[in-house]
Copies of this chain bind each other. A is one copy, B any other.
Amino acid sequence: MTDPVNAFVAGPRARISGRAGGALAGLSFAVKDLFDVAGIPTGGGNHDWAKANPVPERHAWAVQTLLDAGADLVGKTITDEVSLGILGENAFDGTPTNSAAPERVPGGSSSGSAAAVAAGLCDTALGTDTGGSMRVPSSFCGIYGIRPTHGRIDVTGLMPQAPSSDTAGWFARDAATFARVGAVLLGEAPGPLPTKLLIAVDAFAFADPEVAAALQPMVRKLERVVGPAREEIMAPQGLSVWARAQRSLQPVEAWQTFRPWIERHNPRMAFSVAAGLIAGSQVPASERNWAALMREEARARLRHLLPPGTVLCLPTTPFPAPLRGLPMPALQPMRDRITCLCAQGGLTGSPQISIPGATVDGAPVGLSIIGGRGTDASLIALAQAMEAIS
């Protein structure tokens, strides 16, 4: 298989046939290079990571589960360095091509998995989402993606970043494949469909007006499935306040995760990645303590908003994918705005899917749907129902 979109990591392609006759027979899948595949170094998007870590002897749980269900592994995909990145530009491995908008970034950190699925190089692909790493590339590449309920998908064999926010998810180009893979990984068939729809007006107002407008037909379609929507503020304390809490909690945990490696090996990393880790090392205890309380408030808010049967929709990203190769000072404000629409995932652990179907300036943007914790299968049913009335 060639790699026309630079989705796969360099070197011999990891290829393992799935068990014959499983539920996913005939499907091909790729895995983000944070998931262990037995006998192959886990690269983690940083060329000094594998040197310091043993070659895994077992497949990650999610890899093993897809293989057991009959899907065929076709390769490991590029990730933002140690999963710290939201745009998909990797200084070691290059930037996977966003085939829906080739002049733009694919989004990250599950960049290669999203690019491979979007380009049709495989049917599905595993990724991870700590602060938006499934949702953002889903939106930017115009494909389905899920950040499952925190703790729902076993992360054994997955390179950690910030364990209290880390999740494993998957991409697909169509809702049927998305649901088929979900049934295996969740161990639960799609459904039931939600019956109440909320619109996060703070999030829509925060997005570029063109994005909010482009998503309106998808919201109307959602209403046809779920029923008339009610407008709600998702984050009464402020999207930027939730983002601040996430931006305090996540880098602190990431620093705890990577500190032993860094201190022992002084690895090379892109300046922006080092800067993020150093920022994590410098968060004062008072800020961490406040952020932990704000996390509790955010969880309480979503519990209140999302009783069983209720879902909330919002733009996955405030804008379509930025152009490739922009300088750091241009990128940082974009990262910050993205975090304002993604922070609820890491803070609350609620499941969120991003559904493709809108474009701005010819580039995709996704509509996100959030449900209460544990309602992953309902969100997948909703994706199927929406696609059915296209």
Q: Taking beta carbons and an 8 Å cutoff, which residues of A are in contact with B?
A: 48, 89, 91-92, 262-272, 274-275, 277-278, 327-329
Copies of this chain present in the complex amount to 2
Provide 23 A-B residue pairs closer than 8 Å at the C-beta atoms, listed in order of the A residue. Answer: A48-B91, A89-B266, A91-B266, A91-B268, A262-B271, A263-B328, A264-B327, A266-B270, A266-B272, A267-B270, A267-B271, A268-B268, A268-B269, A268-B270, A269-B269, A269-B271, A269-B274, A271-B274, A271-B277, A274-B274, A274-B275, A274-B278, A278-B278
- Which of B92, B263, B268, B272 is the one whose CB lies under 8 Å from A329? B263
Chain A interface mostly helix, strand, loop or mixed? helix
Distance in angstroms from A259 CB to nearest chain B CB is 10
Distance in angstroms from A278 CB to nearest chain B CB is 5
Q: How far is the CA of A137 from the CA of B264 in the complex (A)?
A: 23
Q: How far is the CA of A19 from the CA of B332 in the complex (A)?
A: 52
Contact A268 B92 (CB under 8 A): yes
Distance in angstroms from A101 CB to nearest chain B CB is 21
Distance in angstroms from A109 CB to nearest chain B CB is 15
Distance in angstroms from A268 CB to nearest chain B CB is 5
Contact A266 B48 (CB under 8 A): no
Q: How far is the CA of A245 from the CA of B91 in the complex (A)?
A: 34
Contact B274 A266 (CB under 8 A): no
Set of chain B residues within 8 Å of A278, measured between Cβ atoms: 274-275, 278
Contact B262 A266 (CB under 8 A): no
Q: How far is the CA of A274 from the CA of B262 in the complex (A)?
A: 12
Distance in angstroms from A45 CB to nearest chain B CB is 12
- Which of B92, B266, B272, B328 is the one whose CB lies under 8 Å from A271? B266
Contact A91 B267 (CB under 8 A): yes
Contact A328 B91 (CB under 8 A): no
Which one of A263, A264, A271, A272 has the highest number of Cβ atoms from chain B below 10 Å of its Cβ? A271
Closest to A327 in B: B264
Set of chain B residues within 8 Å of A267, measured between Cβ atoms: 91, 270-271
Query: 8 closest A-B pairs (Cβ-Cβ)?
Result: A274-B274, A263-B328, A264-B327, A268-B268, A91-B268, A266-B272, A262-B271, A266-B270
Set of chain B residues within 8 Å of A91, measured between Cβ atoms: 48, 266-268
